[in-house]
A and B are shown apart, each in its own frame.
Chain A
Amino acid sequence: MSFRARSKTTIVLAGLVLTVSGCVAEAEPAGVSETEPEVSAESEDIAVVAGSDDYVILYSGRAESLVQPIIDVFTEQTGIEVDIRYAGTSELAAQVLEEGEQSPAAVFLSQDAGALGALSDAGLLAELPESITSRVDPEYSSRDNSWVGVTGRARVIAYDSETVALEDLPTDVDDIVSPKWSGKIGVAPANASFQSFVTAYRVIRGESAADQWVSGLVMSDPQKYDKNSAILEAVDAGEVSLGLINHYYWYRMASERGGDQMRAQLYFLPAGDPAAIVNVTGAAILQAQSSDLDASSLVEFLVSDQAQEYFVTTTFEYPLVPGIGAPEGLPELAELAVGDFDLSDLRSIATTQELLRTYGLIF
């Protein structure tokens, strides 16, 4: 074959490959789910109702290994196919903000309330029906019905059991910034849950006390990390003595390494302490898809008893629906401090961030 013919063939083949792969990708069925949805009598009933096509796209800031199994159950029960896009919550939020009205997603499952607040402020979230919002205690959901809390995570202290005795542990949040812990505390100041805790401190104990606490923290030379999991690893390696994290990280690590084997152990501050507040994960429906009944079915399922129990047993997070028991060994949700503040109030979070920025804890 002459050079000219060879190059022509190559170009044509390359073009074909590009087109074919593009078509194949578009025709991809629901992600990794292997269960074939059965067209049962139930799903036929749903199909008759207007605004339902048995298909919904979910953007999940929560990990696939956690979310996929329970969504598979949902698909099995309702026949609604769910295509799930997994990524970090803040990246997904940035993506949805960028997509705007053109977002293909119908439901957004978020790791924290801040992201939901950002989407709500941009006017991208639909008002949730009462059948959904009534299931969860209003303290754990948005004030304007734009999102609903799904699970709760308590702020705790992970401590190095080899070098710290139980008696020495702080009994109050202010003890954390005392000189004896200087250089030995691990925090993730950029993390949403840490910022929620500081916001709670501001609300519960006042702005000047909060200012004092943050400056005290900076003076004790804390070790800064990007993620809670990194803090826990550091505590487990003896790098720091105390780490401010969310409770379930410890349980997750314990399931991989064995709780008794671990150097890091958990400690809950007494109820009423700002450092013991509960953050939430949440779900919302995007405004552009507000008429899609499949979307509301999905969110309703996430706050159903079945899904709540799943979260309790799989991630050791707190259920937010009354009547479901807290994970074993953990204090009851009602016992933990709940500040009277909106978890997704970005203006308040922005003030917290300014405070942290002043003291150089975040950028």
Chain B
Amino acid sequence: MTITRAARAAPRWLVGLSLLSVSLVSIPLVYVVWRAVDVPLSQFTTVLMRPRVQELTVNTLGLSLAVALSALVLGVVIAALLSRVRFRAAASLLLISALPLAVPSYLASYGWLVAIPGLNGFVPSWLLLTAVTVPYVTLPVAAALRGTSAEGEAVARTLGLGPLRAFVDVTWPQVRPAAVAGALLVFLYTLSDFGLVAMLRFETLTWGIQQSFAASFDRSQAAILALLLVVIALVVVAAERSARGQVVTSRAKLATREPVGVVTRTLALLIVLAPPLVGVVAPLAGLGARLLEAQTLREIDFSRLGLATGATIAVSALAALVALVIALPLAALAARYSGRGVGSLETLGYLPHALPGIVVGLSLVFFSLAVLPPLYQTTAVLVFAYAVLFMPKALGTARSSIEGVSPDLVNVARTLGARPFSAWARVTLPLALPGLGIGALLVAIATMKELPATLLLRPTGVNTLATELWSRTSAGEFAGAAPYAAILVLVAAIPAMILSGVRRTAKEEL
């Protein structure tokens, strides 16, 4: 087993590229600071001192921590069950466990509100958010487990440790980086989520930001709250770095699956199926119920549906590509080199992910009009907005997949005469490609579901499935909304299913 991170200085060109990536994704941060600075210091402190602001902050923190923790525990448990318990339809189960990713959080909450109209508050928000975000932990951990050797665990078992203890002591350190990285994504997602908590009437900082825009048209006040979100994210991202641990590479071998009794298997099945049931089946059933209730079943305009679907797929594919390109230098830097500079760059890369879509959207309105007015409200800026919004989703998996490639292989290439970049591109990149693919797919799925930034930045007249869905639900036409909701989940489910089949790194045959 090799420790892969080196203490030597990183090459300047890599640092330069990483700086470029970070400055691109920091545009929303610059905007937030710019607007917040507009406010006189006295008003600044007045806003922060308001009891309601403190209430909102506590709500936000509490919810995000709770969801991250529960997603972490549940995600690891599910991944472990899927890889260690002998299920009859193991592959399909993994696929199904990825499906909650395809459901936008606002859709999940809407579906549940149909079933339980009075649903609101902390507990439903916590449970529902856990259900839709747990794949962020499950998938990377499952992929990591596939790539880890089960030999250590087997040895521990022969030494007398029970299966659970063997798992915790031997396997958990190997999957910890993937699990913690996934939990970080869950935390940042919950920080920035607006749709679900608004519908469930649980008031968080994102809700406060929305109120600042909607009730008082006060962008500066919104910026102050956004700054609070960034500060919270800063603390947690820094904490994640220390909790992450180092990726250890080992020769991958298929793990043996445990035969278990029927009761245990049924219990395990229930646990594995819980998030898809709560996060996918129930919301879609709720929407279906509304559809059946509707007296006016409007005709589906297939050409519009087709256009929206095409636009959605196109922008999400482009966004995934751009996000990956932006993430790559930063991931490569953080994977191989350590040091405070590297740490700060990586942290900065994650921070904008804490901001709600409307803030990122407005920041790019501001930025594109200031720098490149002809590009305002074009697809280019829209794709760039998605890349800025979701790059962190690609960052974690890109980093850990590059980390997972042993530098010994690159060194061998160097001794054979390849230049550094060539060796990296021809050895590390192809081996890390599956993991990079995971990151790209996560970005694609997130883009398909995105709403607030899309409404602000899309070219006038262009619609995605999410905006069409919104347009109908905001007009109260739930019957008309249903086909768009269904197609949205279907389209987003495709990358989700591909995700479940991707391995973290290609198998090394040495």
Give the interface of A toward B (CB within 8 A). Answer: 3, 7, 14, 17-18, 21-22, 24-26, 28-32, 57, 63-66, 83-88, 90-91, 93-95, 97-99, 102, 104, 114-115, 118, 190, 192, 195, 224-226, 229-230, 233-234, 237-239, 249, 252-253, 255-258, 346, 350, 353, 357, 360, 362-363
Contact = CB atoms under 8 A, between A and B. Distances in A.
A31 B208 contact: no
A66 B475 contact: yes
Contacts of A24: 379
A249 B476 contact: yes
A234 B425 contact: no
A98 B217 contact: no
Contacts of A192: 214-215
Which applies to chain A's interface (DSSP): helix, strand, loop or mixed?
helix
Interface stretch (B172-180, B253-261, B456-464): B456-464
B476 A90 contact: no
A118 B375 CA distance: 27
Which applies to chain B's interface (DSSP): helix, strand, loop or mixed?
helix
Interface residues of B, number: 63
Contacts of B373: 102
A140 to B, nearest CB: 21
B461 A32 contact: yes
Interface string B373-413: 10111111001000000000000000000000000000000
B318 A18 contact: yes
A86 B474 CA distance: 11
A102 B365 CA distance: 10
B213 A91 contact: yes
Contacts of A115: 217
Contact of B378 (A22, A32, A94, A350): A22
B294 interface: yes
Contacts of B426: 3
B79 to A, nearest CB: 32
B358 interface: yes
14 contacts: A3-B425, A14-B321, A25-B379, A31-B461, A65-B480, A88-B474, A226-B199, A226-B201, A233-B117, A256-B293, A256-B296, A363-B203, A363-B208, A363-B215
A226 B117 CA distance: 14
Given A249-B476, A256-B479, A95 B208 contact: no
Contact of A98 (B117, B365, B425, B478): B365
A155 B161 CA distance: 69
Given A22-B378, A32-B461, A363-B215, 9 more contacts: A25-B459, A84-B460, A90-B215, A91-B358, A93-B213, A255-B295, A256-B479, A362-B215, A363-B207
Contact of A237 (B117, B358, B378, B461): B117
Nearest to A85: B460
B455 interface: yes
Nearest to B31: A98
B109 to A, nearest CB: 11
A29 B307 CA distance: 14
A350 to B, nearest CB: 7
Given A18-B318, A229-B476, A363-B52, A91 B452 contact: yes
